[in-house]
Chains A and B, each alone.
Chain A
Amino acid sequence: AQSVTQLDSHVSVSEGTPVLLRCNYSSSYSPSLFWYVQHPNKGLQLLLKYTSAATLVKGINGFEAEFKKSETSFHLTKPSAHMSDAAEYFCVVTRANTGNQFYFGTGTSLTVIP
């Protein structure tokens, strides 16, 4: 079985301060993990993915995430928030290489305060 828990439903940060969005996963198999971003009334865009290569994954727009197997976590970070980062963020898990089903977290809404 696989599942994802996003620990915060809403995060607020000031512009220019660091962003931390937390994700814990559960998987009976070696996982592939993804972070997607959804801007209001838009589709989903891939930020980054982990597929059993390097544990520190760099994505678009300055985001990165670290896969920690011992903690079953895949937290998303960014050193300095920008107004354009305000959006909904989803953590997703599937079985590496063969996953038919993708399991989404319930999402974290990020607000950036000017």
Chain B
Amino acid sequence: NAGVTQTPKFQVLKTGQSMTLQCAQDMNHEYMSWYRQDPGMGLRLIHYSVGAGITDQGEVPNGYNVSRSTTEDFPLRLLSAAPSQTSVYFCASSKNRGETQYFGPGTRLLVL
């Protein structure tokens, strides 16, 4: 098993550009989530999904969109990047709600 994979590892964007962060898992997990990690703030939940076709907002959803068309994939879209979205983004998955989450290696995003 590859576990949770994320691409790209590093990305530089200009303000106003859009992009999609990819996340995939091969463990047949129902629950998937996206976090951002900023210095001194821990990880904060952006969006999550409890299964294909079902998504919901987390603590900091503004400026981000998600969809879940398959069990395996959970992409995160930045519609119009802002410098405040400079962060490290982690995707995670778990078999079901409330269970242990397994994290991807992260995507480091810099918005100029």
Contacts and interface: CB of A to CB of B under 8 A. Distances in A.
Interface residues of A, number: 25
Given A90-B42, A100-B56, A34 B100 contact: yes
B42 A97 contact: no
Given A43-B104, A100-B48, A101-B48, A107 B98 contact: no
A87 to B, nearest CB: 14
A96 B96 CA distance: 11
B106 A43 contact: yes
A84 interface: no
Interface string A78-114: 0000000000001000111111111111110000000
Interface of B: 31, 33, 35, 40-45, 48, 50, 56, 58-59, 90, 92, 97-98, 100-106
Contacts, number: 55
B90 A102 contact: no
Contact of A102 (B33, B40, B41, B104): B33
A11 interface: no
B15 to A, nearest CB: 26
A96 B98 contact: yes
A98 B44 contact: no
Interface of A: 9, 32, 34, 36, 42-46, 49, 90, 94-107
Contacts of B56: 100
B101 A43 contact: no
Contact of B58 (A32, A90, A101, A106): A101
Contacts of B45: 101-103
A64 B106 CA distance: 27
A90 B100 contact: no
Nearest to A97: B98
A114 B13 CA distance: 41
Contacts of B98: 32, 94-100
6 contacts: A32-B98, A34-B100, A43-B106, A45-B103, A101-B59, A102-B45
B54 to A, nearest CB: 10
A100 B97 contact: yes
